[in-house]
A and B are shown apart, each in its own frame.
Chain A
Amino acid sequence: NAGVTQTPKFQVLKTGQSMTLQCAQDMNHEYMSWYRQDPGMGLRLIHYSVGAGITDQGEVPNGYNVSRSTTEDFPLRLLSAAPSQTSVYFCASSYFGSGRGADTQYFGPGTRLTVL
């Protein structure tokens, strides 16, 4: 299993540009989510999904869109990049249930985004 993969690893954008951060998992997890990590702020939830076709907003959704057309993929779209969106972005997935590994978040390696 590749686990959770994210692309790209690094990206530099100019203010106003749009882009899509890719996230994929091969573990058949129902739950997927996007976080941004900023110094002193921890991980803040942007959007999450509990299954294909279902998405919901997290703590800081403004300026970001998501879709979940398949179980495996959960792309994050920046509509019009702003310097305040400079951050490290992590995708994570997990499965529901009562077993030992249930609800454990598996994280991708992260995407470091800079908006100039």
Chain B
Amino acid sequence: GDSVTQMEGPVTLSEEAFLTINCTYTATGYPSLFWYVQYPGEGLQLLLKATKADDKGSNKGFEATYRKETTSFHLEKGSVQVSDSAVYFCALRDDKVIFGPGTSLSVIP
């Protein structure tokens, strides 16, 4: 069945460091891919998405490119801020929506 795998956390970075959170997926069809973010004490909200191969989703300085050949959708940001501290979830939508286990990010000043 469909599944999403993310890099293990927690991840701790200094402010202005480069961020990569790896995400790979398994799906029988051609899914849409998403990154959601959950800030402390809040619900999940959409960060970015891509609906087909080679699409790049971007929002708030975050980017991810849909790579069909490697079944990946890695999240990147060039310079993280303390306010980016949150849990990040990779997800796919095929016939249903499946989430990865989440990666906790802490950014320290």
Residues of chain A at the chain B interface (Cβ within 8 Å): 31, 33, 35, 40-45, 48, 50, 56, 58-59, 90, 92, 94, 98, 103-105, 107-110
Q: Report Cα–Cα, A65/B34, bound state, in Å.
A: 27
25 residue pairs bridging A and B, Cβ less than 8 Å apart: A31-B97, A35-B99, A40-B101, A41-B101, A42-B6, A42-B89, A42-B101, A42-B102, A43-B44, A43-B99, A44-B99, A45-B97, A45-B98, A45-B99, A50-B95, A59-B1, A59-B98, A103-B32, A103-B49, A103-B51, A103-B93, A104-B34, A107-B44, A108-B43, A109-B43
A-contact 0/1 string along B30-57, CB 8 Å cutoff:
0010101000000111100101000000
- Chain A-chain B contacts (Cβ-Cβ < 8 Å), number: 54
Q: Report Cα–Cα, A55/B6, bound state, in Å.
A: 28
Question: Which of the four size classes fits the interface of chain B?
Answer: 20 to 34
Query: Which residues of chain B have C-beta atoms less than 8 A from A108's C-beta?
Result: 43
Q: Does B96 contact A (CB under 8 A)?
A: yes
Distance from B86 Cβ to chain A, minimum over Cβ atoms (Å)? 14
Q: B96–A45 contact, CB under 8 A? A: yes
Identify the closest chain B residue to A38 (Cβ). B101
Q: Report Cα–Cα, A40/B89, bound state, in Å.
A: 12
Q: Report Cα–Cα, A42/B34, bound state, in Å.
A: 14
Q: Report Cα–Cα, A50/B44, bound state, in Å.
A: 21
Q: B100–A56 contact, CB under 8 A? A: no
Contact with B36, one of A40, A59, A105 (Cβ below 8 angstroms): A105
Given contacts A43-B89, A90-B44, A103-B49, contact A56 B96 (CB under 8 A): yes
Query: Which residues of chain A have C-beta atoms less than 8 A from B1's C-beta?
Result: 59
Query: Which residues of chain A have C-beta atoms less than 8 A from B6's C-beta?
Result: 42
